[in-house]
Structure 1
Amino acid sequence: MKKLLTQLKNGTPLSDTSKSDTLLLNECVSLLKEKKNIILQGAPGTGKTYTTASLAVALCNPSFTGLEDHIKVMDEYERLRQEGQIAFCTFHQSMDYEDFVEGVKPELQGEHITYNVEAGIFKQACMQANKATDHQEIDIIACIDDYLQKIRGYENRREIPTITRTSSIYVWWDAKKKTINIRTTRPRKNNKGEEYSPSQPSIEAIKKQALGIEKRNPHKDYKEAFIEAVKREYQGKEKASNKPHILIIDEINRGNISRIFGELITLLEADKRTGEGKHPIKVTLPYSKDSFSVPSNLYIIGTMNTTDRSTGSIDYAVRRRFAFITLKTDPEVIKTCIKDDAVRAKALALFKQINGDGTDEATSFIATHKAGDFDLEDLKVGHSYFLAETLEALQMKMRYEVIPLLREYIKDGILQGKEEDEKYFAAWEKGECFNPATTEKPEVSSDSEA
């Protein structure tokens, strides 16, 4: 496992491990459990997004037996997504911390605009994973309900510290109400009696805040102080769950990762997480002032297109927190997936002329047109571009997907344009390979010899 971790952190291609697909998937699941964060990288069409679904299902449901059937995989993936175990998002150049972690968002209430702190995609995923608590003994909601019975009536009030621990407050519950009573322990002069309570947060709101799903937060500090008091009362009776939750980030390199994650980039490391981490860390979020950590049962799977240089590269601080798995173009997928013999033969021939076949890379279209500092594997056209059931479908893929992709590469300067390119493209549109004619040298005339 340590050898695999070292290989994949350095981007060693999966096919280089010489294992079966099932064994590789199992190893990648083991890697994800250990590292917590991985990025699937490769050229377009190598099945990165396809693979994230299989990885997520295999991790979330170890008893699932249909990993070789992608339809079954996607059915299970959707079930897990609806149950909240899998979340999906795509990074882009406009994504920022406020979208991903938390931010202040306006809300129209009647004729007035109010501003509320809203949890972003990542914070919601962490809260969802934190909610996955093993309640074999007792859960936080049951704890709150039991605690209410203990503070029923003013005579059973409790003195608890405030969230800052610089002072204390009284809390008690009137069984006729759906709120709890809170007031400072400092004596106040008023005509409303000893049991007057200026702050009365609802029990429902307290429970929502305990679960991390409360959007509006009046009396936030009082509610948090009450929840902390309940947790201290029942300390040790709540047990963290290992139920996996997955956050898939497609096109992760298209966003500014350091800006999007902000200070939370440190919390991604396995040993910095709460639950199983040896050195768990919590931070105070800038808008909500909530204490925040990343749970050990949240796993991140990113995908990255290795030819996409339109955005900033991933810096070293981010790289060392992810393991990188390279998915290569693979003609074996074409051999396996295309059932028609004639279509399969043409698809493989086109694949070989464009990408090479592993034995003769140097004469392929990509190799002879390569420019710049890209690796050959990064420029290849992925095998999914060649998967077609009929010759007409293969021609359509070549005309509207493969050729436009290669034209874009030439336009961007990552491939060199050559005189015979249009002859290649014309042949490929018909589903045929292009055979360059041998250029004959002109005969030297006797006049020129003179």
Structure 2
Amino acid sequence: MNKQKKITDTLDQQVQLLKDKKNIILQGAPGTGKTYTTASLAVHLCNPSFTELGDHAKVMEEYERLRKEGQIAFCTFHQSMDYEDFVEGLKPELQESHVTYKVEAGIFKQVCERAHTAEGKDIIACIDDYLQKIRGYENRREIPTITGKSKLFVWWEEGNKTISTRSVRAISHNTEQYSPSPLNIDKVKAQALGERTENNWPAYARAFIEAVKEEYQMDEVTSSKPHVLIIDEINRGNISRIFGELITLLEADKRTGGGAHPIKVTLPYSKESFSVPANLHIIGTMNTTDRSTGAIDYAVRRRFAFITLEASREVVEGSIQDKGVQAKALALFDEINGKGADDKTSFIATHQAGDFDLEDLKVGHSYFIAKDLPELQRKMRYEVIPLLREYIKDGILQAKEGDGEYFSAWEQGECRGPKQAVESKDPEADKE
């Protein structure tokens, strides 16, 4: 099997799992290619006709194109991230001499909005058509507010860059056509696309967008165009806190537009009706040796499928052109990680401590890929050795006599060698 076909077959299996489960996490030790694999997966899902999956530069070029078009979004979780950052929250804004607060959509809400847009029913075209229906005060419509507790008058004067709105309860001391809360049309369209918010009257803008969707029955047709949200270092954040009540909506059967039991919730700040579309897929990455994070709880785990990426000797071999450098890199890979799953003589196997699996402790293949010997030496000195020292410091590897000899040899791009690796014998045994 050639390299290109093997890559494609592996990605096909992973994409199918992503389509079925909707949410997956790529887990593994540092350097196993988790972040790059998310890009390949996202590209393969969003553009199945893209065939050059073995070309790193072209994959990243296509990834960037899809990101700019809004099909792929990326974020990184961290320990101070919360629901208000990820879904929506109140953000302060200085207006003239006083501070006001507005509801601002987070990346998850934005990407859900983009994924919801139905194919064949362009929200922008529908807004433009709706404006023609409410052209002139005499053609004004009554639409419900987001909370449903009141209603708004909406109308549009031809040529204006704003939509006129007024609460039906408002008492105007001006003309009948006075609008105390005009909506900027371009900003309303941007809000409908999930790009940004109509910052002056976001709740009224959302009410208007919902009225347009209702008019053209847009919620009844969900886009099949795949969208991907990549969450790097997903286990560094408190996932339950960040997703909040939306954790339930992540399940495949709870999605709108394809789920057997679709669910909508009312968001706490904007009071908008919210759901997660079936065409949104989430790919997380997780470093299995990161002890600074808490464990992922069972409620989260059962909503994700897990794919483990392993340190690959084959990747090292196929990524280095210089045969001399390749030989040294492979020898170092073998001495540190082992020649196979059953090799108990490697540095990692002989230093293993705690409750980590051997595979979780291996040094990923990206640390061994170098174009020449000086680069390999730099990687060993400034990346691999510090990583292993950190493992020893954290107690997930145990220190042993002779470690300094390993590290000194590796800094030169050389192995310690089998002769030096032999454990010292009992001196009394030599007398027998």
TM-score, normalised by the number of residues in structure 1: 0.85
Q: Give the stretch that moved more between structures: 105-114 or 385-394.
A: 105-114
Q: Please name the residue that 2:28 is paired with.
A: 42
Tell me, yes or no, if the aligned pair for 2:90 and 2:103 is still in contact at 8 Å. yes
Q: Distance in 1 between matches of 2:212 and 2:62?
A: 38
**Paired residue for 1:120?**
106
Q: What CA distance in whole angstroms lies between the structure 2 residues aligned with 1:372 and 1:282?
A: 44
Deviation sequence 1:73-94 (CA, Å, 0-9, x none) = 1111111122222111111112
Q: Which residue of 1 aligns with 2:64?
A: 78
| Corresponding residue number in structure 1 for 2:233 | 251
1:201 maps to 182
In 2, Cα distance between equivalents of 1:78 and 1:444: 65
Query: Measured at CA, do residues 47 and 111 of structure 1 come closer, stay the same or move farther in structure 2, by a change above 3 Å?
Result: same
Answer yes or no: is the 8 Å Cα contact 2:38–2:230 preserved in 1. yes
How far apart are 1:440 and its partner, in Å? 4.9
Q: CA deviation at 1:443?
A: 5.9
Task: State how far apart, in whole Å, the 1-side matches of 2:287 and 2:349 are.
Answer: 19
Give the AA of the match of 1:418.
K
Tell me which residue corresponds to 2:384: 402
Distance in 2 between residues matched to 1:405 and 1:219, nearest whole Å: 51
| Per-residue deviation, residues 37-64 of structure 1 (Å, max 9, x unmatched) | 1100011111111211111111111111
Deviation at 1:332, TM superposition (A): 0.9
Matching of residues 101-112 of structure 1 within 5 Å: 101-112=87-98
Give the share of equivalent positions with the same residue, in percent. Answer: 71
- 2:364 is the alignment partner of 1:382: yes
Instruction: State the Cα RMSD in Å.
Output: 2.9
Q: Kindly provide the amino acid, as one letter, of the partner of residue 422 in structure 1.
A: G
Amino acid at match of 1:146: D
Cα shift at 1:398: 1.2
Moved more, 106-115 or 165-174: 165-174
The residue identity in structure 2 corresponding to 1:144 is: I
- Give 2:115's match in structure 1, choosing from 98, 111, 129: 129
State yes or no: 1:330 paired with 2:312: yes
Distance 1:404 1:123, change over 3 A: same
> What residue is the counterpart of 1:57 in the other structure?
43
Pick the structure with greater CA Rg.
1
State the alpha-carbon separation in 2 of the partners of residues 445 and 210 from structure 1.
82
Letter in 2 for 1:66: E
Aligned to 1:20, what secondary structure does the other structure show?
helix
Please tell me whether the aligned partners of residues 329 and 376 of structure 2 are also in contact (alpha carbons under 8 angstroms): yes
Q: Does residue 87 of structure 1 match 2:68? A: no
Shift of 1:334: 1.4
Q: 1:80 to 1:143 in 2, by over 3 A?
A: closer
Structure 1 position 100 matched with structure 2 position 86? yes
Q: CA deviation at 1:203?
A: 5.8
Counterpart of 1:335 in structure 2: which amino acid?
E
| 1:395 partner letter | Q
Post-superposition CA distance 1:160-181 (Å, at most 9, x none)? 5555555655544443655455
Letter in 2 for 1:89: C
**1:371 equivalent in alignment to 2:353:** yes
- Mapped to 2, the partners of 1:105 and 1:51 lie a distance apart of 35
1:10 — aligned with what? none
Query: Which residue number in structure 1 is paired with residue 424 of structure 2?
Result: 439
In structure 2, distance between residues paired with 1:325 and 1:260 = 22
Give me the whole-angstrom Cα distance separating, in 2, the residues matched to 1:187 and 1:339: 75
- Equivalent pair of 1:282/1:292 in contact (CA under 8 Å): yes
The 3 A distance-change label for structure 1 pair 416 and 109 is: same
TM-aligned CA deviation for residue 414 of structure 1: 0.6
Contact (CA 8 Å) 1:139, 1:238: kept in 2 or not? no
Q: CA deviation at 1:405?
A: 0.9
Q: Deviations over 1:89-136 (max 9, x none)?
A: 1111121212211222222334433322221121222223234x313x
Kept after mapping to 1: 8 A contact 2:188/2:198: no
**Which of 114, 128, 133 is the matching residue for 1:150?**
133
**Number of the residue aligned with 2:303:** 321
**Any unmatched runs of 5+ in structure 1?**
1-18
**Superposition pairs of residues 210-225 of structure 1, within 5 angstroms:** 210-213=192-195, 215-216=197-198, 218-220=200-202, 222-225=204-207
Q: Which runs of 5+ in 2 are unaligned?
A: none
Distance 2:105 2:308 in 1: 33
Alpha-carbon distance in 2 for matches of 1:31, 1:328: 18
TM-score computed with the length of structure 2 as normaliser: 0.88
